[in-house]
Amino acid sequence: MKIKDKEFKSYISHQEIADRVAVLGKDITKKYEGKKPLFIVILNGSFVFAADLLREVNTECDVTFIRLASYSEMQSTGSVKELIGLTENIFNRHVIVVEDIVDTGTTLEHIYDLLQDLGPASIEVATLLYKPEAYKKDIGLKFIGFEIPNKFVLGYGLDYDGVARNLKDVYQLAESE
Ligand code: 5GP
């Protein structure tokens, strides 16, 4: 399938995703029973995964949505990042960060450090996709949907230059690209 200028092939079907997400939901339910976890969903890409995952969690929980904005969006300089949208007090809360994909881990590390400073009781990570070959950080990923090779993917919330978030399956860049 051609998306913008590149060829993609179906990689993980929506049924495979649904089956795996159901297992993750059960794991989370078991681990957080009675702890009223707070899911912090990292926009934009994680919205589809989060919507499915939360409906597989069968214990009382809260959910909130944040973005990590790099200062460069406003000022054209690199490194400084801030969390946008975190209104909840996370002190003493059991936090589960919901990510669509963890690649090098740079984004996750920023978020993790910023949240850690706010004194949560615990922080764990739930990510749909994880690229172990690219990961350079030490933060443990407790709930992983699929480990994938270091190739570009899209769909199920993940975009390519703003498009393809609405696709039901996850697609991978075709070999020849
Ligand atoms: P990291 O900071 O871990 O290197 O990258 C995390 C972010 O890069 C993700 O939240 C996502 O926005 C983007 N990203 C990394 N790999 C992919 C990929 O294969 N496909 C898409 N669509 N985005 C990716």
Which of 126, 123, 147, 124 shows the shortest CA–CA distance to 135?
147
Decide whether any atom of ligand 1 lies within 6 Å of the 153 Cβ.
yes
- Write down the pLDDT at residue 68: 83
Is the pLDDT score of 120 beyond 60? Answer: yes
Task: Identify the active-site residue in 19, 103, 113, 161.
Answer: 103
Q: Which residues contact 7 (CB under 8 A, 6 or more apart)?
A: 1, 173, 174, 176, 177
Domain hosting residue 93, numbered range? 2-173
Place of tokens 């159901």: 22
- Write down the pLDDT at residue 132: 97
Number of domain units in the chain? 1
Using the atom order of ligand 1, give the atom closest to the CA of residue 105: 3
More confident residue, 132 or 70: 132
Per the DSSP assignment, residues forming a β-bridge with 56 are none
Domain containing 7 — which CATH number? Answer: 3.40.50.2020
Place of tokens 């707070």: 38
- Write down the pLDDT at residue 154: 97
Using the atom order of ligand 1, give the atom closest to the CA of residue 152: 19
Average pLDDT, the chain: 92
Q: What six digits make up the tokens of 68?
A: 């990590």
pLDDT, tens digit (0-9, with 9 covering 90-100), for 59-116: 999 999 999 876 544 444 456 577 888 989 999 999 999 999 999 999 999 999 999 9
pTM: predicted TM-score of the whole model, two decimal places: 0.94
